[in-house]
Amino acid sequence: MNETSQKTILVAITDVFFYTKVRDALLPKGYRIEKARVQQDITDKASWISPSAVILNMNDQALDAFQALEALKADPRLKAIPTLAFANHEEVDTWNRAKALGVTRIVSRNEFSNRTKDLLEEVIANSRQQSAVSSELKAKR
């Protein structure tokens, strides 16, 4: 992975309020944002840019975050990309389904708004740690 792709985040959010939150939190910190504008963009752009993470709005009306998670986790080239998702805190079924589909972390909309950059960096760091442990275990076999 090159320097640029290490700082590129694929954002599957069409809601202007949340997209602006992401942009304002990440651009000043040197992240590059690639926006998924239509459903197919999510897997196409994930394949093309090898992002550090994908951010999903589980309540998005224009993009189906569940379909995106299914596609990302089904593709061996994409399944290791960490995913940060947010959803309405009252929608327990949404949270459970996202977890079952392999989302790396899901948080409430409020927490996402308040801690976007920190949450993203935690998801990326945890993913790297798990990848390093997995590689170490494979090497020992």
Its sign, for the CA torsion 79, 85, 87, 93, is: positive
The confidence score (pLDDT) of residue 117 equals: 97
Residue 134, pLDDT above cutoff 80: no
CB of 119 closer than 8 Å to CB of 90: no
Q: Which residue has the tokens 């589980």?
A: 58
Domain chopping of the chain, boundaries: 3-140
Residue 140, pLDDT above cutoff 90: no
CATH superfamily of 3-140: Response regulator (3.40.50.2300)
Instruction: Give percent above pLDDT 90 in the chain.
Output: 84
50-109 pLDDT per residue, tens = 999 999 999 999 999 999 999 999 999 999 999 999 999 999 999 999 999 999 999 999
CB atoms within 10 A of CB 81: 20
d(CA 50, CA 128): 14
Q: Which residue has the tokens 């709005």?
A: 57
Mean pLDDT of 115-121: 97
d(CA 128, CA 41): 25
CB of 109 closer than 8 Å to CB of 86: yes
The confidence score (pLDDT) of residue 132 equals: 57
10-20 pLDDT per residue, tens = 999 999 999 99
d(CA 41, CA 112): 23
The confidence score (pLDDT) of residue 139 equals: 58
> 6 pLDDT band (50/70/90 cuts)?
low
